[in-house]
Protein backbone atom coordinates (compact mmCIF):
# COMPACT_ATOMS: atom_id res chain seq x y z
CA UNK A 1 0.00 0.00 0.00
CA UNK A 2 1.09 3.56 -0.66
CA UNK A 3 -0.36 7.03 -1.11
CA UNK A 4 2.29 8.41 -3.49
CA UNK A 5 0.78 7.57 -6.88
CA UNK A 6 2.36 10.07 -9.28
CA UNK A 7 5.47 8.11 -10.18
CA UNK A 8 4.55 4.64 -9.00
CA UNK A 9 5.67 1.76 -11.22
CA UNK A 10 3.62 -1.45 -11.19
CA UNK A 11 5.41 -4.55 -9.87
CA UNK A 12 6.60 -7.01 -12.51
CA UNK A 13 3.70 -9.01 -13.92
CA UNK A 14 0.96 -6.86 -12.36
CA UNK A 15 -2.08 -6.72 -14.63
CA UNK A 16 -4.65 -5.46 -12.12
CA UNK A 17 -4.85 -2.93 -9.33
CA UNK A 18 -7.21 -1.83 -6.56
CA UNK A 19 -7.02 1.85 -5.65
CA UNK A 20 -8.86 3.03 -2.54
CA UNK A 21 -10.15 6.55 -2.03
CA UNK A 22 -7.38 7.40 0.46
CA UNK A 23 -4.69 6.49 -2.09
CA UNK A 24 -3.97 2.97 -0.84
CA UNK A 25 -2.95 0.66 -3.69
CA UNK A 26 -3.08 -3.14 -3.98
CA UNK A 27 -1.42 -4.79 -6.98
CA UNK A 28 -2.10 -8.23 -8.42
CA UNK A 29 -2.82 -10.45 -11.38
CA UNK A 30 -5.90 -9.64 -13.42
CA UNK A 31 -8.76 -12.09 -13.73
CA UNK A 32 -12.05 -12.06 -15.55
CA UNK A 33 -12.93 -9.15 -17.80
CA UNK A 34 -10.51 -6.37 -18.73
CA UNK A 35 -12.49 -3.47 -17.37
CA UNK A 36 -12.70 -0.92 -14.56
CA UNK A 37 -15.36 -0.77 -11.82
CA UNK A 38 -15.86 1.65 -8.94
CA UNK A 39 -17.81 0.98 -5.75
CA UNK A 40 -17.59 0.13 -2.07
CA UNK A 41 -14.89 -2.40 -1.17
CA UNK A 42 -16.11 -4.94 1.39
CA UNK A 43 -15.10 -8.42 2.54
CA UNK A 44 -16.94 -11.71 2.92
CA UNK A 45 -15.72 -14.46 5.27
CA UNK A 46 -17.67 -17.37 3.72
CA UNK A 47 -15.72 -20.54 2.89
CA UNK A 48 -18.12 -21.60 0.13
CA UNK A 49 -20.82 -20.13 -2.08
CA UNK A 50 -18.78 -17.64 -4.10
CA UNK A 51 -21.11 -17.92 -7.11
CA UNK A 52 -24.17 -17.28 -4.95
CA UNK A 53 -22.37 -14.32 -3.37
CA UNK A 54 -21.38 -12.80 -6.71
CA UNK A 55 -24.98 -13.09 -7.96
CA UNK A 56 -26.65 -11.78 -4.78
CA UNK A 57 -28.37 -8.50 -5.79
CA UNK A 58 -27.62 -7.11 -2.34
CA UNK A 59 -23.99 -6.69 -3.51
CA UNK A 60 -24.93 -4.04 -6.08
CA UNK A 61 -22.38 -1.24 -5.90
CA UNK A 62 -19.79 -3.40 -4.11
CA UNK A 63 -16.43 -5.01 -4.88
CA UNK A 64 -16.07 -8.21 -2.86
CA UNK A 65 -12.89 -9.27 -1.07
CA UNK A 66 -12.98 -13.00 -0.29
CA UNK A 67 -11.08 -13.78 2.91
CA UNK A 68 -11.02 -17.51 2.05
CA UNK A 69 -7.94 -17.84 -0.18
CA UNK A 70 -9.06 -20.61 -2.55
CA UNK A 71 -11.90 -19.48 -4.80
CA UNK A 72 -13.10 -21.40 -7.86
CA UNK A 73 -12.69 -24.95 -6.61
CA UNK A 74 -16.21 -26.03 -7.57
CA UNK A 75 -16.32 -23.97 -10.77
CA UNK A 76 -19.66 -22.49 -11.75
CA UNK A 77 -22.97 -23.76 -13.09
CA UNK A 78 -26.33 -22.42 -14.19
CA UNK A 79 -28.13 -23.55 -11.02
CA UNK A 80 -26.23 -21.90 -8.14
CA UNK A 81 -27.23 -18.35 -8.97
CA UNK A 82 -29.37 -15.89 -7.06
CA UNK A 83 -30.18 -13.76 -10.10
CA UNK A 84 -29.46 -14.02 -13.83
CA UNK A 85 -27.36 -10.85 -14.11
CA UNK A 86 -24.84 -10.32 -11.27
CA UNK A 87 -25.02 -6.95 -9.54
CA UNK A 88 -21.65 -7.15 -7.76
CA UNK A 89 -18.80 -5.22 -9.38
CA UNK A 90 -15.85 -7.60 -9.11
CA UNK A 91 -13.79 -9.72 -6.73
CA UNK A 92 -10.46 -9.55 -4.90
CA UNK A 93 -8.66 -12.84 -4.19
CA UNK A 94 -5.53 -14.06 -2.41
CA UNK A 95 -4.69 -16.94 -4.75
CA UNK A 96 -5.17 -17.56 -8.45
CA UNK A 97 -8.58 -19.03 -9.23
CA UNK A 98 -8.55 -22.73 -8.39
CA UNK A 99 -9.12 -25.25 -11.16
CA UNK A 100 -12.68 -26.59 -10.83
CA UNK A 101 -13.08 -30.05 -9.35
CA UNK A 102 -16.76 -30.81 -8.99
CA UNK A 103 -19.22 -32.97 -10.91
CA UNK A 104 -21.63 -30.03 -11.24
CA UNK A 105 -19.08 -27.67 -12.79
CA UNK A 106 -19.95 -26.34 -16.25
CA UNK A 107 -17.66 -23.30 -16.56
CA UNK A 108 -14.38 -22.12 -15.04
CA UNK A 109 -14.90 -19.21 -12.64
CA UNK A 110 -12.52 -17.02 -14.64
CA UNK A 111 -14.56 -17.62 -17.80
CA UNK A 112 -17.75 -16.94 -15.83
CA UNK A 113 -16.37 -13.56 -14.73
CA UNK A 114 -15.52 -12.69 -18.33
CA UNK A 115 -19.00 -13.73 -19.47
CA UNK A 116 -20.54 -11.25 -17.04
CA UNK A 117 -18.00 -8.45 -17.69
CA UNK A 118 -16.69 -8.63 -14.12
CA UNK A 119 -13.05 -7.90 -13.27
CA UNK A 120 -11.06 -9.77 -10.66
CA UNK A 121 -7.63 -9.53 -9.09
CA UNK A 122 -5.55 -12.29 -7.48
CA UNK A 123 -2.35 -12.15 -5.46
CA UNK A 124 -3.63 -9.50 -3.08
CA UNK A 125 -2.77 -9.74 0.61
CA UNK A 126 -6.45 -10.05 1.54
CA UNK A 127 -5.58 -10.28 5.23
CA UNK A 128 -4.06 -6.80 5.05
CA UNK A 129 -7.00 -5.42 3.05
CA UNK A 130 -9.51 -7.01 5.44
CA UNK A 131 -7.69 -5.50 8.42
CA UNK A 132 -7.74 -2.13 6.67
CA UNK A 133 -11.54 -2.37 6.22
CA UNK A 134 -12.03 -3.48 9.83
CA UNK A 135 -10.04 -0.52 11.14
CA UNK A 136 -11.17 2.16 8.68
CA UNK A 137 -14.60 1.00 7.51
CA UNK A 138 -15.61 -0.10 4.03
CA UNK A 139 -13.92 2.36 1.63
CA UNK A 140 -14.78 3.48 -1.87
CA UNK A 141 -12.40 2.01 -4.39
CA UNK A 142 -11.64 1.11 -7.99
CA UNK A 143 -10.69 -2.28 -9.40
CA UNK A 144 -8.98 -2.17 -12.80
CA UNK A 145 -7.80 -5.09 -14.96
CA UNK A 146 -5.57 -4.31 -17.96
CA UNK A 147 -3.51 -7.01 -19.64
CA UNK A 148 -0.83 -4.50 -20.70
CA UNK A 149 -0.23 -3.45 -17.09
CA UNK A 150 -0.51 0.25 -17.90
CA UNK A 151 -2.50 2.17 -15.30
CA UNK A 152 -3.28 5.84 -14.75
CA UNK A 153 -3.24 5.72 -10.96
CA UNK A 154 -4.11 9.38 -10.33
CA UNK A 155 -7.16 9.01 -12.60
CA UNK A 156 -8.23 5.84 -10.81
CA UNK A 157 -7.82 7.58 -7.46
CA UNK A 158 -9.96 10.48 -8.66
CA UNK A 159 -12.66 8.04 -9.78
CA UNK A 160 -12.67 6.38 -6.35
CA UNK A 161 -12.83 9.72 -4.55
CA UNK A 162 -15.66 11.06 -6.70
CA UNK A 163 -17.90 8.02 -6.27
CA UNK A 164 -20.69 9.16 -3.90
CA UNK A 165 -20.86 6.03 -1.75
CA UNK A 166 -23.80 3.83 -0.75
CA UNK A 167 -25.20 6.12 1.94
CA UNK A 168 -28.26 7.87 0.50
CA UNK A 169 -28.23 5.65 -2.59
CA UNK A 170 -31.38 3.82 -3.77
CA UNK A 171 -30.20 0.74 -5.68
CA UNK A 172 -33.32 -1.39 -5.32
CA UNK A 173 -34.87 0.07 -8.47
CA UNK A 174 -31.75 -0.92 -10.43
CA UNK A 175 -31.90 -4.61 -9.46
CA UNK A 176 -35.66 -5.09 -9.12
CA UNK A 177 -37.81 -6.72 -11.74
CA UNK A 178 -39.78 -4.32 -13.93
CA UNK A 179 -42.83 -6.54 -14.41
CA UNK A 180 -44.73 -8.93 -12.17
CA UNK A 181 -44.07 -12.65 -12.55
CA UNK A 182 -45.00 -15.96 -10.93
CA UNK A 183 -42.43 -18.20 -9.23
CA UNK A 184 -43.00 -21.95 -8.86
CA UNK A 185 -39.47 -23.44 -8.50
CA UNK A 186 -38.74 -25.17 -5.19
CA UNK A 187 -35.59 -26.30 -3.40
CA UNK A 188 -32.75 -28.24 -5.04
CA UNK A 189 -32.07 -31.90 -4.27
CA UNK A 190 -29.10 -33.93 -5.42
CA UNK A 191 -30.00 -36.24 -8.27
CA UNK A 192 -33.25 -34.48 -9.14
CA UNK A 193 -32.40 -30.75 -9.26
CA UNK A 194 -35.02 -28.14 -8.41
CA UNK A 195 -38.54 -29.16 -7.49
CA UNK A 196 -41.78 -27.50 -8.53
CA UNK A 197 -44.78 -26.13 -6.66
CA UNK A 198 -47.31 -28.82 -5.76
CA UNK A 199 -50.64 -28.38 -3.97
CA UNK A 200 -50.31 -24.65 -3.16
CA UNK A 201 -51.86 -23.68 0.15
CA UNK A 202 -51.09 -19.97 0.38
CA UNK A 203 -50.81 -16.97 -1.92
CA UNK A 204 -47.81 -14.75 -1.24
CA UNK A 205 -46.89 -11.47 -2.88
CA UNK A 206 -43.12 -10.93 -2.73
CA UNK A 207 -41.77 -7.41 -3.24
CA UNK A 208 -38.53 -7.50 -5.20
CA UNK A 209 -36.03 -5.02 -3.79
CA UNK A 210 -33.27 -7.35 -5.06
CA UNK A 211 -34.70 -10.73 -4.17
CA UNK A 212 -32.60 -13.90 -4.06
CA UNK A 213 -33.98 -16.92 -5.89
CA UNK A 214 -33.44 -19.23 -2.94
CA UNK A 215 -35.81 -17.11 -0.84
CA UNK A 216 -38.51 -17.73 -3.44
CA UNK A 217 -37.66 -21.45 -3.47
CA UNK A 218 -38.05 -21.65 0.31
CA UNK A 219 -41.45 -19.99 0.12
CA UNK A 220 -42.55 -22.46 -2.56
CA UNK A 221 -41.22 -25.33 -0.42
CA UNK A 222 -43.67 -24.21 2.27
CA UNK A 223 -46.58 -24.50 -0.16
CA UNK A 224 -46.70 -20.86 -1.22
CA UNK A 225 -47.84 -19.72 -4.64
CA UNK A 226 -45.64 -16.65 -5.16
CA UNK A 227 -46.34 -13.54 -7.20
CA UNK A 228 -43.28 -11.27 -7.45
CA UNK A 229 -43.89 -7.53 -7.85
CA UNK A 230 -41.41 -4.68 -8.55
CA UNK A 231 -39.92 -2.60 -5.75
CA UNK A 232 -42.16 0.34 -6.62
CA UNK A 233 -45.42 -1.62 -6.24
CA UNK A 234 -48.09 0.20 -4.24
CA UNK A 235 -50.11 -1.28 -1.41
CA UNK A 236 -53.18 -1.10 -3.64
CA UNK A 237 -51.44 -3.17 -6.32
CA UNK A 238 -50.22 -5.69 -3.76
CA UNK A 239 -53.57 -6.13 -2.03
CA UNK A 240 -55.39 -6.42 -5.37
CA UNK A 241 -53.90 -9.92 -5.60
CA UNK A 242 -55.64 -10.83 -2.31
CA UNK A 243 -52.52 -12.47 -0.85
CA UNK A 244 -52.47 -14.50 2.34
CA UNK A 245 -49.16 -12.83 3.17
CA UNK A 246 -46.66 -10.25 1.91
CA UNK A 247 -42.91 -10.78 1.76
CA UNK A 248 -40.38 -7.92 1.76
CA UNK A 249 -37.12 -8.99 0.15
CA UNK A 250 -33.46 -8.30 0.62
CA UNK A 251 -31.70 -5.77 -1.58
CA UNK A 252 -28.85 -3.25 -1.90
CA UNK A 253 -28.37 0.38 -0.98
CA UNK A 254 -29.55 2.68 1.78
CA UNK A 255 -32.90 1.62 3.32
CA UNK A 256 -33.85 5.26 3.95
CA UNK A 257 -33.43 6.07 0.26
CA UNK A 258 -35.51 3.10 -0.91
CA UNK A 259 -37.90 3.71 1.95
CA UNK A 260 -39.01 7.01 0.46
CA UNK A 261 -41.40 5.07 -1.76
CA UNK A 262 -41.44 1.68 0.01
CA UNK A 263 -42.23 2.77 3.57
CA UNK A 264 -45.67 4.25 2.75
CA UNK A 265 -46.53 0.99 0.98
CA UNK A 266 -45.36 -1.08 3.95
CA UNK A 267 -47.41 1.02 6.38
CA UNK A 268 -50.56 0.41 4.35
CA UNK A 269 -49.87 -3.33 4.04
CA UNK A 270 -49.39 -3.59 7.82
CA UNK A 271 -52.64 -1.68 8.36
CA UNK A 272 -54.45 -4.24 6.18
CA UNK A 273 -53.76 -6.92 8.77
CA UNK A 274 -51.97 -9.22 6.31
CA UNK A 275 -49.04 -11.26 7.69
CA UNK A 276 -45.73 -9.67 6.69
CA UNK A 277 -42.24 -11.20 6.66
CA UNK A 278 -39.11 -9.18 5.80
CA UNK A 279 -35.49 -10.15 5.23
CA UNK A 280 -32.42 -7.86 5.21
CA UNK A 281 -33.40 -4.64 3.37
CA UNK A 282 -37.02 -5.70 3.87
CA UNK A 283 -36.31 -5.92 7.61
CA UNK A 284 -34.72 -2.48 7.64
CA UNK A 285 -37.56 -0.81 5.76
CA UNK A 286 -40.18 -2.60 7.85
CA UNK A 287 -38.40 -1.13 10.89
CA UNK A 288 -38.53 2.33 9.32
CA UNK A 289 -42.23 1.86 8.62
CA UNK A 290 -43.01 1.19 12.29
CA UNK A 291 -40.96 4.15 13.50
CA UNK A 292 -37.43 2.83 14.10
CA UNK A 293 -34.24 4.23 12.58
CA UNK A 294 -31.44 2.76 10.46
CA UNK A 295 -27.78 3.68 10.23
CA UNK A 296 -24.70 2.89 8.14
CA UNK A 297 -22.39 0.35 9.78
CA UNK A 298 -18.64 0.78 10.13
CA UNK A 299 -17.86 -2.23 7.94
CA UNK A 300 -21.01 -4.35 7.84
CA UNK A 301 -21.67 -8.05 8.31
CA UNK A 302 -20.84 -10.35 5.40
CA UNK A 303 -20.23 -14.06 5.86
CA UNK A 304 -21.78 -17.42 6.62
CA UNK A 305 -20.63 -17.92 10.20
CA UNK A 306 -22.51 -15.28 12.19
CA UNK A 307 -24.14 -16.49 15.45
CA UNK A 308 -27.59 -15.03 16.11
CA UNK A 309 -29.71 -15.60 19.21
CA UNK A 310 -33.48 -15.85 18.82
CA UNK A 311 -34.94 -14.58 22.09
CA UNK A 312 -38.32 -16.15 21.26
CA UNK A 313 -36.82 -19.67 21.29
CA UNK A 314 -33.64 -19.03 23.30
CA UNK A 315 -31.69 -20.82 20.57
CA UNK A 316 -28.54 -19.77 18.71
CA UNK A 317 -28.43 -20.01 14.91
CA UNK A 318 -25.41 -19.94 12.61
CA UNK A 319 -26.46 -17.48 9.94
CA UNK A 320 -25.47 -16.03 6.59
CA UNK A 321 -25.36 -12.24 6.47
CA UNK A 322 -24.78 -9.49 3.94
CA UNK A 323 -25.61 -5.96 5.03
CA UNK A 324 -23.93 -2.61 5.51
CA UNK A 325 -26.85 -0.89 7.25
CA UNK A 326 -28.51 -1.84 10.53
CA UNK A 327 -31.58 -0.98 12.56
CA UNK A 328 -30.79 1.05 15.68
CA UNK A 329 -31.93 -1.20 18.52
CA UNK A 330 -32.48 1.79 20.80
CA UNK A 331 -34.95 3.35 18.36
CA UNK A 332 -37.62 0.63 18.50
CA UNK A 333 -40.96 2.22 19.41
CA UNK A 334 -43.57 0.84 21.79
CA UNK A 335 -45.35 -2.15 20.34
CA UNK A 336 -42.23 -3.42 18.55
CA UNK A 337 -39.78 -5.79 20.18
CA UNK A 338 -36.35 -7.03 19.21
CA UNK A 339 -36.38 -10.81 18.71
CA UNK A 340 -32.90 -11.59 17.36
CA UNK A 341 -29.48 -10.21 18.25
CA UNK A 342 -25.96 -10.76 16.90
CA UNK A 343 -23.63 -12.54 19.31
CA UNK A 344 -20.69 -10.90 17.53
CA UNK A 345 -21.50 -7.29 18.35
CA UNK A 346 -24.98 -7.19 19.91
CA UNK A 347 -26.63 -5.49 16.94
CA UNK A 348 -30.35 -5.96 16.35
CA UNK A 349 -31.09 -8.78 13.89
CA UNK A 350 -34.84 -9.26 14.11
CA UNK A 351 -38.10 -7.62 15.19
CA UNK A 352 -41.79 -8.39 15.56
CA UNK A 353 -44.92 -6.37 16.16
CA UNK A 354 -46.62 -7.33 19.41
CA UNK A 355 -50.17 -6.93 18.11
CA UNK A 356 -49.88 -7.99 14.43
CA UNK A 357 -48.52 -10.98 12.46
CA UNK A 358 -45.53 -8.96 11.26
CA UNK A 359 -41.86 -9.86 11.73
CA UNK A 360 -38.46 -9.64 10.06
CA UNK A 361 -34.81 -10.64 10.35
CA UNK A 362 -31.60 -8.97 9.24
CA UNK A 363 -29.89 -12.17 8.07
CA UNK A 364 -30.55 -14.71 5.30
CA UNK A 365 -32.37 -17.85 6.50
CA UNK A 366 -32.52 -19.20 2.93
CA UNK A 367 -28.71 -19.36 2.58
CA UNK A 368 -28.44 -22.50 4.77
CA UNK A 369 -25.12 -22.00 6.56
CA UNK A 370 -26.36 -23.99 9.58
CA UNK A 371 -27.51 -25.57 7.22
CA UNK A 372 -31.17 -25.48 8.34
CA UNK A 373 -30.93 -23.52 11.58
CA UNK A 374 -33.09 -20.67 10.28
CA UNK A 375 -35.60 -22.43 8.02
CA UNK A 376 -38.16 -22.23 10.85
CA UNK A 377 -38.69 -18.58 9.93
CA UNK A 378 -40.43 -19.56 6.69
CA UNK A 379 -42.60 -21.95 8.70
CA UNK A 380 -43.35 -19.11 11.14
CA UNK A 381 -44.58 -17.00 8.22
CA UNK A 382 -46.77 -19.87 7.02
CA UNK A 383 -48.16 -20.35 10.53
CA UNK A 384 -49.18 -16.68 10.62
CA UNK A 385 -50.95 -17.06 7.28
CA UNK A 386 -52.69 -20.25 8.47
CA UNK A 387 -53.90 -18.48 11.61
CA UNK A 388 -55.11 -15.50 9.58
CA UNK A 389 -57.21 -17.79 7.39
Are 150 and 132 in contact by the 8 Å Cβ rule? The answer is no
Q: What are phi and psi of 181, to 5 degrees?
A: -150, 160
Residues 6+ apart with CB under 8 A from 271: none
Q: What SS3 string covers the chain?
A: CCCCCCCCCCCCCCCEEEEECCCCEEEEEEEECCCEEEEEEEEECCCCCHHHHHCCHHHCCEEEEECCCCCCCCCECCCCCCCCCCCCCEEECCCCCCCCCCCCCCECHHHHHHHCCCEEEECCCHHHHHHHHHHHCCCEEEEEECCCCCCCHHHHHHHHHHCCCCCCCCCHHHHCCCCCEEECEEEEECCCEEEECCCCCEEEEEEECCCCHHHHHHHHHCCEEEEEEECCCCHHHHHCCCCCEEEECCCCCCHHHHHHHHHHHHHHHHHCCCCEEEECHHHHHHHHHCCCCEEEEEEEEEEEEEEEEECCCCEEEEEEEEEEEEECHHHCCCCEEEEEEECCCCCEEEEEECCCCEEEECCEHHHCCCCCCCCHHHHHHHHHHHHHC
- Catalytic residue check, 364: yes
Active-site residue (options: 42, 144, 224, 280): 280
The residue among 292, 308, 295 whose CA lies nearest residue 345 is: 308
Active-site residue (options: 52, 323, 366, 375): 366
What are the C-alpha distances in Å from 240 to residues 205, 266, 275?
Answer: 10, 15, 15
Question: Rounded to an integer, what distance in angstroms lies between the CA atom of residue 93 and that of residue 6?
Answer: 26
Apex 85 CA angle, 193 and 170, nearest 5:
125
- Catalytic residue check, 283: no
Active-site residue (options: 301, 306, 323, 364): 364
Indicate which residues carry an active-site annotation: 280, 364, 366
Amino acid sequence: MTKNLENMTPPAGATAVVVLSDGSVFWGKGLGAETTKVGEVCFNTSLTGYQEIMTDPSYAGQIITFTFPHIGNVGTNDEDIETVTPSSLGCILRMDITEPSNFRNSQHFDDWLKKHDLPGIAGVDTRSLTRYIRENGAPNGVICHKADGQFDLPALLKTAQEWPGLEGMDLAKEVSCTQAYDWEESLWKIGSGYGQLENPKFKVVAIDFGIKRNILRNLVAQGCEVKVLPATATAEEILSHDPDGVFLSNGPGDPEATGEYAVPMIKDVIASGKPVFGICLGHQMLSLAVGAKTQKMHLGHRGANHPIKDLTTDKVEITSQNHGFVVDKDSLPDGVEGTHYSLFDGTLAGIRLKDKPVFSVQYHPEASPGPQDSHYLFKRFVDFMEAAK
